[in-house]
Amino acid sequence: MRHWLLLWVGWMVGTAVGWGLSAAAINVMPELNTMLGLALVGTFQWLPIRKHVQGSGIWVLVTYIAGFVGSLSGLLFLQFLNLIPDAPLSFGPNALLWGVDGAVIGMAQAFLFQPKPPHRFYWPLFSGLGYAAAGLISMLVRIWLDIPGLDWRSSTVFGAVAGFVSGAGLIWILMKQPDRAPHRSRF
C-alpha cells in the first residue's frame, strides 16, 4: 500500500510542479505559451509513472498534443452552448472548459496504459474531474490572493488539485491491473 501512496504523492507533486513551473516560465518569457506548459506538465507526470505504465514513453508528446486539442474542444463546446465567459473568473464556464480539456487529455492518455488495465477508460473521467476541480479551486486562490492573471501560485494549486483527484483515479486503475508489478519504461 505504501508503494501506491508514494506513486500518488509523486503524481500530485509532479503535476503541481509542472503547472507551477510552466506559469513561472511564461511570466518570465511571455513569448512562451501554455503549450510549453503542457510539455512541462507531461514531463513531470511521466517521471513518477514511467515504471508503472509501459506505454508511458510518449506520455509527454500525447499530453502536449491532447492538451491543445482539449483546449480547442473546450472552447468550441462552450461556444456551441453559448457559454463563452464574459470575465476570466466565470466559475461555471471555466470549470466546464477545464473539465473538457482534462477529459480529452485523459482520452488520449488512456491508450498509453499497457498492459491494458480493464478500467483504463475511466481515466478521462478522473482527468476531467481533476481539471474541473482544479480550475474552480485555482480561481478561488486567484480571487483570494488578488492575482489578475496567470501566476505560479494559482497554477501550482491547479496542478496539486488536478494531481490529487486524477492521482486517486490513476492508483485505482493501476491497482485493478491483473499484473500490478511496476514496469520498466524504455525511456
Q: What is the pTM of this model?
A: 0.85
- Cα dist from 157 to 41, 67, 74, 92, 135, whole Å: 13, 18, 21, 18, 9
**Domain range summary for the chain, segments of one domain joined by +:** 2-175
* Closest residue by Cα to residue 50 from 11, 102, 21: 11
pLDDT per residue as tens digits for the range 35-80: 677 888 889 999 998 888 877 789 888 988 898 888 888 888 877 8
